[in-house]
Chain A
């Protein structure tokens, strides 16, 4: 498999770049609906981004180039990661054996730079956030790999662009329990990666209880815009990995499948909103338990795959 040269494979990227902030609006609207409020307008995230991008910046005297690099690297990694994820039956622009690992490690790279930027400020709160971030992600990474390994084994393939269309084929007839387990585990990974309840609460106001938000306390202006956009894009990209499991892409037409994918993403956003409205954030010491639970689900899925295979 090689690098795609025709325009079609880049379409999902364009969709992602354009539609990602909308996911956050959907989540916010859902939560507002549960709270009985009307919520911000759907285009509010775009407005926020524009506003931030047009501002100047204030930097801490403690910080170095590391702090300034953080948001740019974080955004780049998610954009490049988006280039690896297929949509519907469209293979990703970069599709090759093992691209799923590159996907995971790209997210890790972005995370490291966010963490380092946070530590660069010397602030105790940001240090704490950084600490929690690396702690929880150390536990999610093997879960994500295990989930993908299960799918890979099931589809005998080592590329996201092959796995996902194939998942659509066999999916729900012969491997329902397996897919449910994988999807559940991946949902937890998704929530953790994107710093959502029950792992993290993006809307809290108490620094001591934050993870992601506290890390970016000192950023402002275009840097903060990059970060906000990164968050949105990450929701979209990682969300696709879950939605892809449910969309039987090969049974639909190309455009139908694309549509289903996008709709699926918004359903996922609504689901996130529902979860955030009905659940409380876990206590920090309980988070690892949740993640290990996800690991257990993934392991079960793996064992099922083995059972089938042998």
Chain B
């Protein structure tokens, strides 16, 4: 049944290439719905491993799978509305004099579905190679999505995304080799690259190879995850992609890369060598927060603003992973809420872009008046993403900071708080000004909301709000179990 999780979108993706347009637009949400249904079913029955244990649902994977699944459902609904609003022919670009055209919608829909399939495999994969292949496949599936609007900027973004992520993924492959070798040298017999095997026999792994493997994987998947200074592609790609794609990239894809690092950390922890890895993660985390702050103050492009905010949040997640213990739990909680909120924000930014026809934050004014729903949700999202209660990022952030202080990372805690404040200033200063004030007179009065474009982000934000104040017991259990996997009991 787990196999169905990725077979369904795969088949749907192929179908999307051939079916007529009306069916295609419905196909995406339906696939999302089926996917969510299977995902929920998996929460209830806890299915056993499949394909010789290469595919299984463990707590960490389950969390990331659920995120991807829910996000996909929301974004696919949005995408249906989005595609309906898109002008199919040549049209004027908002930032340059040259006109441009969209890529075929069929390509978009099928890549969108392939993207889901590949992400699903990432979350389910128990074998390092399979996971690597799946992450590679996400790159493959997303590149055409990025280049949906065929103009120079999106091409540039796609090019950078491709080159940098390919380099990253290649490094991750090297890391995977090194881990394989570390198992090979242990007393003449081979430890397969299955997660369960590696964690079971962790102590037998050869440390030097393991360390080096981790470094390669960290740099490799870290590139995909957007950790500073490996993040350079991220703001470009996230800001130039069509909004539903940005939402999925930021909300789900970064998590997949994060999962890659998490898996390696699991092996590391079982080998009892987790110390050095932690320092690296903490370092990357802090650097990401700091550098993201640099670009979030005075950021003129609001989609880039959101993209840098993703860099920051990935940094915080890395920090949480690095601190370990309850902070790992918090990091996972953080990842959940970040995904929900950031996707909602990207979707909303699409609405704003549609109304105001500009990505320059300075030219967007009075979104609350032109489109009250979008504007209101945008404000809520701004507060949610900066970790303001009652949204769920706050408890997670608090817990991570608490452990930073408790584990003696006092300076790091203070630096983080300082830069969180700077980020708050940068983000709200730009974001709230967009919602408030009088809109440019050319736009006219309030427009009726397009429900397909408003409900998905509203749903995601509500989910974050609810989970922020009430975390159901099963979720809590799974989170705890997942957090414990990088504990390094021995």
Direct contact between A and B judged by beta carbons closer than 8 A: no
